[in-house]
Amino acid sequence: MPPATTPAPQLVAVSHTGLASGAETVLVRVLTSARDAGWTVLCLSPPGAMAERLADAGISRAPLPELKLPAGARAVAGLRLAVRSLRAGRQIRRAAQEADVVLVNGILALPALAFSGTAKPKAWLVHDVIHKPSWLVLLWLFGRSVDLAIAVSDAAARPVRAARIEATVVRNGVEWPVEPAPFEKEGPPIVGCAAVLTSWKGQDVLLEAVARLPRKDVVVELVGTSFPKDGPYVERLQARAAKPDLAGRVRFLGHLPDVLARARAWTVGVSASVDPEAGPLALLEYLSIGLPAVATAHGGAPEVLEDAGLLVAPHDPDALAAAIGRLLDDEELRRRCAENGPKVIERGSLTLATSNRKTIECLEALARGR
């Protein structure tokens, strides 16, 4: 008689939105890694860019309502979202019947997970530093429906632990090794920022900072798409870029399939988020290619930047201008930061392979009842 085979463990993931940004990128990478490790993977997701990414990765998908707050009056929008979450909870419960672990991506999926009533082991990928009052309400009402929170930074883990939820930190990682950026660049200096064009990413502060630099040859490149709700913000950025002190020096590049290929031409990379960013992927990418960086000093950025760049206060264009100016004018400092970036990645094992492996180990431990 042939030996009995052990069935593949099953993972059901939940993406609360059909939009796609850094958090969704991390989820797709985790799901792909789980599948490659032998798991059977299904992701519940609304239609949209996230569904397209799942299809491109070959990950099975089932439909789910959009769980972001709808447009309109807040009370009405909240009621509509509650109804959607109840419906999503029923879908999660059905999908999870044979699952070994249920994995939710982001805080807005927590109500649906709680409404599902599933008794399966449940994990939560925490991509946010939970500080907004509405998020804190969700955390305290629904957070304890999960068995383990997997946070991308200590900053993201702290409020979760304060709510008496078990949390472990698995930092985001990047492809490694990668081709480094050349230190010597031709042409005028380029300050680049890779981020979705949305107000909390702080591109408006970056434009104001570059406008205040004494030297007027600095070019700004903004890489990233925008969500429908951010149309007015993008228009404000474009209007600011057209003013005489910046005219002709700001490039809106939209989505690029290979951000690093463009970033290798930059002189400085900036993460200007005005809300704390839990684990900025772009910052890690800057470091990986040896691009000197400036980041705002909150969230997960101070945990990884170390000696590969400079930290500044958020919402402060003068401080950002001063830091960018230091890196542009001080070649020795800029070279030192460039050399230290890849060392930070290696020293902290901030690689995609390490991040995925640690996350899968957490899921395996949950599946075994640990």
Dihedral of the alpha carbons of 271, 277, 278, 283, in degrees to the nearest 10: -10
pLDDT value of residue 7: 82
Fold of 10-172+351-367: Rossmann fold (3.40.50)
Pinpoint the residues of the chain covered by CATH 3.40.50.2000.
Answer: 10-172+351-367, 190-347
In this predicted structure, the answer to whether residue 280 has a pLDDT above a threshold of 70 is: yes
CATH 3.40.50.2000 applies to domain 190-347: yes
Q: Using 50, 70 and 90 to split pLDDT, how confident is the model at 195?
A: very high
On whether the CB atoms of residues 205 and 316 are closer than 8 A, the answer is yes
pLDDT value at residue 247: 98
User: In the prediction, which pLDDT does 3 show?
Assistant: 52
Please name which of 18, 22, 71 lies closest in space to residue 201, comparing C-alpha atoms. 22
Task: For residue range 61-116, list pLDDT tens digits in order.
Answer: 999 999 988 877 878 888 899 999 999 999 999 999 999 999 999 899 999 999 99
Residue 195 CB neighbour total at 10 angstroms: 24
Instruction: Identify the pLDDT of residue 1.
Output: 52
pLDDT value of position 70: 81
**Rounded alpha-carbon distances, angstroms, from residue 289 to 101, 172, 285, 286, 294:** 36, 16, 7, 6, 15
Average pLDDT over residues 201-210: 98
CA distance 164 to 158: 10
Question: Are the CB atoms for 41 and 60 separated by under 8 Å?
Answer: yes
